[in-house]
């Protein structure tokens, strides 16, 4: 278990449907620590950087159109195995394949409206956190509960 940071986006469908609190709550309750959080409108430029790996794919235009269509909540979460823990709670990319109990499985039915982004691996996480947050927006702080969360 190594301490990691990961980038989470509550996508426009999650914010529009009033599910931001529910989604953030599920992540927060694991014990992962919120070290950055903001409501923001993603620009075309930021979207193309964030989704650069998908450029040229048939769903790319729809993906960028969707993520820029309305505000998102961006979070930087920190903790042991933050990347894989977040991905597990998210569920499979296609909500139709996501298990019950996961965010996508419980709240989604369509691949193009899958509610949440989470960094896929350590390299992406470092890049994506830096893409969405300035250093000054990432807050280091102690939690009194920390010894009850991590041994
Ligand atoms: P994930 O969001 O689980 O990391 P990804 O990085 O492969 O998945 O893709 C990014 C987003 O693009 C995904 O959340 C939904 C969309 N997407 C991926 N594959 C798709 C496909 N085959 N058809 C339509 N949309 C797709
Ligand atoms: Mg991905």
Distances (CA, A) of 18 to 13, 23, 145: 9, 10, 28
Rounded CA-CA distance 113/68 in Å is 13
Residue spans per domain, the chain: 3-41+72-142
pTM, rounded to two decimals: 0.98
- Give the full edge-to-edge strand order of the sheet including 33-40: 33-40, 72-80, 3-10, 116-118
Instruction: Examine the residue annotation and report whether 54 is marked as an active-site residue of this protein.
Output: no
Rounded CA-CA distance 82/78 in Å is 6
Cα of 84 to ligand 2 centre, how many Å? Answer: 12
Residue with CA nearest ligand 1 atom 11: 63
Contact 26, 8 (CB under 8 A): no
pLDDT tens-digit map of 57-85: 999 999 999 999 999 999 999 999 999 99
pLDDT tens-digit map of 15-62: 999 999 999 999 999 999 999 999 999 999 999 999 999 999 999 999
Angle between helices 122-132 and 82-90 (to 10 degrees): 90
Ligand 1: which of 42, 59, 98 to mutate, most ligand atoms within 8 Å of CB?
A: 59
Q: Which CATH architecture has domain 3-41+72-142?
A: 2-Layer Sandwich (3.30)
Tell the burial category of 23 from Cβ atoms under 10 Å away from its Cβ (0-12, 13-18, 19+): buried
């Amino acid at each position: 278990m190594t301490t990691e940071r990961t980038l989470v986006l509550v996508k426009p469908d999650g914010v529009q449907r009033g599910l931001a609190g529910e989604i953030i709550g599920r992540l927060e309750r694991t014990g992962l620590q919120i070290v950055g959080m903001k409501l923001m409108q993603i620009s075309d430029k930021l979207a193309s950087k964030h989704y650069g790996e998908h450029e040229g794919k048939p769903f790319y235009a729809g993906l960028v159109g969707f993520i820029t269509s309305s505000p998102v909540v961006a979070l930087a979460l920190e903790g042991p195995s933050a990347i894989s823990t977040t991905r597990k709670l998210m569920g499979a990319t296609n909500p139709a394949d996501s298990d019950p109990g996961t965010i996508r499985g419980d709240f989604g039915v369509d691949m193009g409206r899958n509610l949440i982004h989470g960094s896929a691996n350590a390299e992406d996480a470092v890049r994506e956190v830096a893409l969405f947050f300035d250093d000054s927006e990432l807050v280091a702080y102690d939690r009194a509960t920390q010894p009850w969360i991590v041994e």
